[in-house]
Chains A and B, each alone.
Chain A
Amino acid sequence: MTPKRKRKLYVIVTLVSLAAVAVGLTLYALRANINLFFSPVQIAQGEAPMSRSIRAGGMVKVGSVSRDAESLDVAFTVTDFVGDLQVDYQGILPDLFREGQGVVVVGELQDDGRFRAKDVLARHDENYMPPEVAQALEEAGYSPADFQAKAAEVGQQRKDDT
């Protein structure tokens, strides 16, 4: 090998190994920071891991929101009309959070089966069902029309009440 080629080889080997290290570290960081999504029915079936950051979502069950009288603690139930998930949260709920409305919560599942939410995300849409929930339900064998109709019904009821 000529010296020139040798030097080129060194440069290439260095670059490749650096890139490999970078990719490795990136994938590691990615693995540690991925939030998987689970629907209430999946959680009820015990598919979700404990004490690890996950996302869950569904509709806020009508009449389930209860605020603590003293603090800013709040508890509510997220449902996909098949399974229910009890969620605890501390702090201020987003503007678009309402009973009968779709939410996604980010947090950890506790040993007692309750979900401790770090973040609550709500979106504006009367009949909004988070796409993840819709898909999970479909996989569990429920037709989308069923729960969409159910969601619309709940939304309508809420509208009539106010």
Chain B
Amino acid sequence: MLTRILPEIGHFALIIALLMAVVQSVLPLAGAATRRPLWMAYGQPMATGQFLFVLLAYACLTASYAMDDFSVVNVANNSNSLLPWYYKLSAVWGNHEGSVLLWSLMLAGWGCVAGWWSRRLPRDMLARVLGILGLISVGFLLFILLTSNPFERHLPDIPADGADLNPLLQDIGLIIHPPMLYMGYVGFSVVFAFAIAALLGGRLDAAWTRWARPWTNAAWAFLTVGIALGSWWAYYELGWGGWWFWDPVENASLLPWLTGTALIHSLAVTEKRGSFKSWTVLLAIATFSLSLMGTFLVRSGVLTSVHAFANDPSRGLFILVLLAITVTLSLIVFALRAPRVSHAVRFNWLSRDALLLINNGLLVTATMTVLLGTLYPLILDSLGLGKISVGPPYFNALFVPLTVITCLFMGLGPMAQWKSTSPGKLVRKLWLAGLVALGLGALVPLVYRGEWNLWVTLGLSTALWIGLSLSRDLFDKVRHRHSIWKGLRRLSLAYWGMVLGHLGVAVTIVGATVVSQYAVERNVRMSPDISVEVAGYHFTMTELFDRRGANFLADTAVIEVQRGDSHRRFEMQPEKRLYLATGMPMTQVALRPGLFRDLYVAMGEELDDGSWAMRIQYKPFVRWLWLGGLLMALGGVLAVFDKRYRKTRPARLTQEGQA
């Protein structure tokens, strides 16, 4: 009996969560303004309660999916009784309503964790942070309840079976990509709440940055993993072998990443030097606003892609209004309060402060160019000035040079000192690294391919420059210690985080450069016993057969691959699937991954004479792209666990002990 009314329970749980979020936002904010401790104390229990009720709603929806309750519209539209159980569970967020619910769940989760972990914060600060998180929750829960209710029913005629999950989304990449991305997007809401709370309280000091930094790093690490996973998914799932298309949906996730990266660096200056305060706050506001804008672009249906599930204008309008309110209110608070917290600190034009300022300038410029390219077609369209699209050449022409310049400064930054650095010292330490980077960068393409290539030289030199200058910095830091091991152990986790983060960028650049310059693609006709050679590998089709999977029919080809004259052979099995419930065809790529090259075989279409059009690709260093992303994220995680963010904890423990 209980299982029958699960969707209604979920619906009620959402309403209760909304009410709790209202209390969570109104009482603590009012309490902080009027200094009433009792009111402020409502923040944390309400945040916890709100999280538990959203969790209950989420669990109810998941249960409906698991039990194939097709009376629920959402389940009927996105699931099918033949779907394997793990896709049923991930189908919950493979649609508009469910993914917004997941977003709310994460928002409530971050709020709950922020409430528990930040109990050492001053009371009014915590109250404001939770109050603002509560306000954001109110917005999203209203959005769900008013425009995107996942618990709506198909009554009385219940469909016999569901319409199935989009086959493109039936994949391990989809199981983890959205949750990671959302953790990042939503994580920045905590940083945003911290920034606004600091403005409201007029308190923006080193202690504040020490609270805000771990949250920023954590959110950024999640977003990095989310973007990397998205790129990886597009690579093997779409059947084209591309890893970044400058699609508006991808740009939507890149934008907050860029400003988030700028924010991480600007926070470092604010903590160490007490400067850039207003700028840091502005970046925090921008990052969260861009996260919201990304949601708007992706969810409103103004863009057509796998991500745009529903074209309901009221939803787009709602998020747009939410975005407008957020931006306007936070900018008003900023304009009224920022002068109060800002504080001028002098520094020389060659110093770490200045280099980080340049880094911020470049990252913001990159953000603006991507934003312009993404929004321009939408703006023209909405003004009725014609339908256009902006192609990848635009983004490449601007983004690649900006990245190279940013990386140039990235090599200098860690070596420079705060306030002022002597140019002579910097040159003395780094000239060798620069020379080696340029030399190797020019030489490697010659040795590797026997032909010089400007782009490879540029990419490799940039990556080597980052790597070598980092090694030089590490060397300087440990050589005065008694032993290298001791020296290495004494370095802080935050420093290691920086090293890994920068190294990750270098690794990604190597991957991007090599795969875009040296990838080989051949589209060929193949039938059994036909052999094709691509990049030194012989691909022979040995068999072609039909098979039936759980919820699809497939044409499967067996391809035997042999490298050069060696006797080692292996098999690859690409498939062309037809999903039964939707009648949708899908290319299942066969991949032979490797650290230095991927082999990629995809079936195109069946031709009249029974042979198949096949796409065979050789992708050198493509794994480095995502490996670099993982390194960056790992760097972010390491930085979260740095000792100095936990410094104040013992003090609190002793307080508790006395109490």
Residues of chain A touching chain B, judged by Cβ–Cβ distance below 8 Å, are: 22, 25-26, 29-30, 32-37, 53, 55, 67, 69-72, 90-93, 95-96, 106, 123-124, 131-132, 135
Contacts and interface: CB of A to CB of B under 8 A. Distances in A.
A123 B308 CA distance: 12
Given A69-B608, A69-B609, A72-B523, A96 B388 contact: no
B584 A124 contact: yes
Given A26-B398, A67-B608, A69-B608, A95 B376 contact: no
23 contacts: A25-B398, A29-B397, A29-B398, A30-B373, A32-B394, A33-B393, A34-B388, A34-B390, A35-B388, A35-B391, A37-B386, A37-B388, A55-B389, A67-B608, A69-B609, A72-B604, A90-B523, A92-B614, A93-B604, A93-B605, A96-B585, A123-B304, A131-B387
Contacts of B525: 70-72
Given A29-B398, A93-B604, A95-B585, A37 B523 contact: no
Interface string B356-383: 0000000001001100110010000000
A30 B372 contact: yes
B592 to A, nearest CB: 20
Contacts of B604: 72, 91-93
Nearest to B239: A95
Contacts of A91: 523, 604, 613, 615
A35 B607 CA distance: 31
Nearest to B311: A131
B586 interface: yes
A67 B389 contact: no
A95 B604 CA distance: 7
Main secondary structure of the interface of A (DSSP, over half): mixed
Nearest to B393: A33
Contacts of A71: 525
B64 interface: no
Q: How large is the interface on B (under 10, 10 to 19, 20 to 34, 35 or more residues)?
A: 35 or more
Interface in B468-526: 523-525
A91 B607 CA distance: 12
B24 interface: no
A33, A67, A131, A135 — which one has the most chain B CB atoms within 10 A of its CB?
A: A33
Contacts of A135: 387
Contacts of B368: 26
Interface in B527-575: none
Contacts of B584: 95-96, 124
Given A22-B365, A92-B613, A95-B585, A35 B389 contact: yes
A106 B387 CA distance: 13
B387 A132 contact: yes
Given A37-B387, A124-B584, A29 B523 contact: no
Contacts of B387: 36-37, 131-132, 135
A123 B304 CA distance: 9
B587 interface: yes
A30 B386 contact: no
Interface in B606-623: 607-609, 613-615
Contact of B389 (A34, A72, A95): A34
Given A35-B390, A92-B605, 6 more contacts: A32-B393, A33-B394, A72-B524, A91-B604, A131-B387, A135-B387
Contacts, number: 80
A124 B584 CA distance: 8
Contacts of B605: 92-93
A135 B605 CA distance: 32
B376 A30 contact: yes
Contacts of B397: 29, 33
B615 A30 contact: no
A92 B393 CA distance: 22
Contacts of B585: 95-96
Given A67-B607, A67-B608, A72-B613, A95 B523 contact: no
Contacts of A67: 607-608
A135 B381 CA distance: 11
A117 B387 CA distance: 18
B304, B389, B584, B607 — which one has the most chain A CB atoms within 10 A of its CB?
A: B389
Contacts of B239: 95
Given A69-B608, A72-B613, A33 B390 contact: yes
A65 to B, nearest CB: 10
Nearest to A124: B584
A13 to B, nearest CB: 16
A29 B391 contact: no
A32 B608 CA distance: 40
A26 B582 CA distance: 43
B115 to A, nearest CB: 41
Nearest to A97: B605
B372 A53 contact: no
A96 B586 CA distance: 8
A72 B612 CA distance: 10
Nearest to B402: A22
A89 to B, nearest CB: 11
Contacts of B398: 25-26, 29
A73 to B, nearest CB: 11
A21 to B, nearest CB: 11
Contacts of A33: 390-391, 393-394, 397
A24 to B, nearest CB: 12
A71 B609 CA distance: 12
B199 to A, nearest CB: 25
B389 A92 contact: no
B372, B391, B607 — which one has the most chain A CB atoms within 10 A of its CB?
A: B391
**A-B complex: 8 closest residue pairs judged by Cβ atoms:** A92-B604, A33-B394, A37-B387, A132-B387, A95-B585, A33-B393, A29-B397, A35-B389
B372 A26 contact: yes
A37 B389 contact: yes
Contact of A95 (B388, B391, B587): B587
A95 B386 CA distance: 29
B518 to A, nearest CB: 20
Contacts of A30: 372-373, 376, 390, 394
A43 B372 CA distance: 29
A53 B58 CA distance: 47
A37 B386 CA distance: 8
Given A92-B604, A92-B605, A36 B386 contact: yes
A78 to B, nearest CB: 16
B387, B390, B584, B615 — which one has the most chain A CB atoms within 10 A of its CB?
A: B387
A35 B365 CA distance: 24
Nearest to B394: A33
Contacts of A72: 523-525, 604, 613
